[in-house]
Chains A and B, each alone.
Chain A
Amino acid sequence: MIYKLAMQHIKPGDWLTLLLGGTLVVALTLKLWNGDLADKAIIRSGGKIFREVSLSRDQKIEVPGPLGISIVSIRDRKARIASDPSPRQYCVRQGWLQQAGEIAICLPNQVSVELAGSRSKYDSLNY
């Protein structure tokens, strides 16, 4: 009966709407439930944990290192190294980190930012 009802009342455009709606739901699920949204950023300086901060609050953190001060910026649940005194600026150019397990390392200034989720993932460094 439901099948007959659907066949009678769903017009071609309605099928299109259903298809788009279904695609939207699937896309949202894949995007939001990939299970490794990062919760916090672990900031290290000189190999030791300098601070662990939640990603839910936008802020800028100054991290001292041997060469000077690196600035870690947190915005919209993403983190990046906004400025760093290292000569080649690799960690700055890495840009925004979003997924758990992503890491930006400024070797000359011995500063790193790592994102962590609810569970730690395996990567090539940590197996």
Chain B
Amino acid sequence: MSGKEQAESAGADLPCSSLLLDTTAEDHHIARMAAVALGLTILESAIPSPLPGVKPGLANIVTLIVLARYGWRAAAWVSLLRVLAGSLLFGNFLAPGFFLSLSGALCSLVVLGLARHLPVRWFGPVSHSIHAAFAHIAGQMLVVYFWLIPHTGIAYLIPIFAAAALLFGTVNGLIAARFMDSETVAENRKPIRRPQKSYGSPG
């Protein structure tokens, strides 16, 4: 209590709050991408699903792009922030649904960490996405089996989940590859414009 009051009084003395956090450009990238992922999660929750748990996982598109552009650490941040913030928004923080998302996200992050060392010449975002999708469903099934429904009857659902993982993994990977394409095109355009300016000023 007293600490809080001190902080408030300090805030009153100093109009520029002393609670300013130093943020780096990377933090901003991560926050922005996590926000996009969160938006996709909310969008996705509006799509009706024939079976609970079969979801396109659109937010993983963002994870894939972040992985390719900023590396694994940033992808882990974005993915886990999305899980945490999503659970707060949907009100299932620390509920079973949260742990399902968390285990799925952790498993796919581990697999993505391994999959991105595959030779880039042969394996693209589509492979990463499929691997991540299978890892995601595997992580969820482990939590379901060892904690929520310890009954082997859930084995009947595995083929459906696996087929969905393959389908949505492929689609998400294609979308991510498409986005990365347009990003590299945009990046390639910038250096073309800059020389035009510099040509103008010396002459």
Contact = CB atoms under 8 A, between A and B. Distances in A.
Contacts of B134: 21, 24
Contacts of B178: 5, 9
A14 interface: yes
A2 B125 CA distance: 16
Size bracket of the B interface: 20 to 34
Interface string B122-141: 11111100110010000000
Nearest to B180: A9
A6 B123 contact: no
B166 A25 contact: yes
Interface string B11-41: 0000000000000000000000000000000
Size bracket of the A interface: 20 to 34
B177 A17 contact: no
B119 A21 contact: no
A22 interface: yes
A33 B156 contact: yes
B155 interface: yes
Contacts of A17: 123, 126-127, 130-131
B166 A6 contact: no
A10 B170 CA distance: 9
Interface in A21-60: 21-22, 24-25, 28-29, 32-33, 37, 56
Nearest to B120: A11
A87 interface: no
8 shortest interchain CB distances as A-B pairs: A13-B122, A9-B177, A13-B123, A29-B159, A14-B126, A17-B127, A21-B166, A11-B124
Given A9-B125, A10-B174, 9 more contacts: A9-B177, A10-B126, A11-B122, A13-B124, A14-B127, A24-B134, A28-B159, A32-B159, A33-B159
Interface of B: 118-119, 121-127, 130-131, 134, 151-153, 155-156, 158-159, 162-163, 165-166, 169-170, 173-174, 177-178, 181
28 contacts: A5-B178, A6-B174, A9-B124, A9-B173, A9-B174, A9-B177, A9-B178, A10-B126, A11-B124, A11-B127, A12-B122, A13-B119, A13-B123, A14-B123, A14-B126, A14-B130, A17-B127, A17-B131, A18-B170, A21-B134, A21-B169, A24-B134, A28-B158, A28-B159, A28-B162, A29-B162, A32-B159, A33-B156
